[in-house]
Structure 1
Amino acid sequence: MSGNHAPAVRHMKALFRVEWKLFNRIKGNYIYVVFVPLMILMAMRFVHDQLDLAGHGLDAGPLMVSTAAGILLIFSLYSSVTGLYVARREELVLKRLRTGEASDAVILAGGASLYVTVAVVQILVTSAVLSVMFDAVPRQPLAALAGLLTGVAQMTAMAAATAALCRTVESVMVATLPAIFILPMVSGIYLPREVLPDALGDALLYAPLSSTVDLIRSGWTAELGAAALLTHTALALLWTALFAWTATRKFRWEPRV
Structure 2
Amino acid sequence: MNGLALRHMRTLFRIEWKLFNRIRANYVFAVAVPLMLLVAMRSVQEQMDLAAHGVDAGPLMVSTSAGILLIFTLYSSVTGLYVARREELVLKRLRTGEVSDPVILAGGASMYVALTVAQIAVVAVVLSVMFGAAPRQPLSAVAGLVTGVALMTAMAAATAALCRSVESVMVATLPAIFVLPLASGVYIPREVLPDALGDVLVYAPLSPTVDLIRSGWTGQLSAAEVPARIVLDAVWAALFAWVAFRRFRWEPRT
TM range (shorter): over 0.9
Q: Give the superposition deviation at 1:65.
A: 0.5
- Select the residue among 27, 41, 45 that pairs with 1:30: 27
The alignment's TM-score, normalised by the length of structure 2, stands at 0.97
Q: Give the superposition deviation at 1:5.
A: 0.2
* Residue 127 (structure 1) aligns with: 124
Distance 1:130 1:23, change over 3 A: same
C-alpha contact 2:31 2:73 (8 A) present in aligned 1: no
The alignment's TM-score, normalised by the length of structure 1, stands at 0.96
**Once structures 1 and 2 are overlaid, which stretch shifts more, 129-138 or 173-182?**
129-138
Letter in 1 for 2:177: I
Q: Aligned partners of 1:87 and 1:113: how far apart in 2?
A: 16
Q: Aligned partners of 1:33 and 1:95: how far apart in 2?
A: 26
Letter in 2 for 1:223: Q
Q: Aligned partners of 1:12 and 1:207: how far apart in 2?
A: 31
Q: Aligned partners of 1:34 and 1:98: how far apart in 2?
A: 31
Q: Aligned partners of 1:164 and 1:32: how far apart in 2?
A: 23
C-alpha contact 2:144 2:213 (8 A) present in aligned 1: yes
1:212 aligns with 2:205: no
- Select the residue among 217, 220, 225 that pairs with 1:223: 220
User: For the aligned residues, what is the CA RMSD?
Assistant: 1.2
Could you tell me which runs of 5 or more consecutive residues in structure 2 were left unpaired when the two chains were aligned: none
Percent identical pairs in the alignment equals 73
C-alpha contact 2:38 2:68 (8 A) present in aligned 1: no
Q: Aligned partners of 2:39 and 2:198: how far apart in 1?
A: 27
Distance 1:21 1:243, change over 3 A: same
Aligned residues: 254
* Residue 5 (structure 2) aligns with: 8
Q: Aligned partners of 2:34 and 2:78: how far apart in 1?
A: 18
1:53-95 Cα deviation digits (max 9, x unpaired): 1011100000111011001100000000000000000000000
Letter in 1 for 2:212: L
* Residue 84 (structure 1) aligns with: 81
Could you tell me which runs of 5 or more consecutive residues in structure 1 were left unpaired when the two chains were aligned: none
Q: Aligned partners of 1:196 and 1:48: how far apart in 2?
A: 13
Distance 1:75 1:216, change over 3 A: same
Q: Aligned partners of 1:62 and 1:123: how far apart in 2?
A: 13
1:137 aligns with 2:134: yes
SS of aligned partner of 1:101 = coil
* Residue 202 (structure 1) aligns with: 199
* Residue 56 (structure 1) aligns with: 53
Q: Give the superposition deviation at 1:33.
A: 4.1
* Residue 184 (structure 2) aligns with: 187
Q: Give the superposition deviation at 1:27.
A: 1.8
Q: Give the superposition deviation at 1:131.
A: 1.1
* Residue 70 (structure 2) aligns with: 73
SS of aligned partner of 1:226 = coil
**Once structures 1 and 2 are overlaid, which stretch shifts more, 242-251 or 27-36?**
27-36
SS of aligned partner of 1:150 = helix
* Residue 105 (structure 2) aligns with: 108
Letter in 1 for 2:161: A
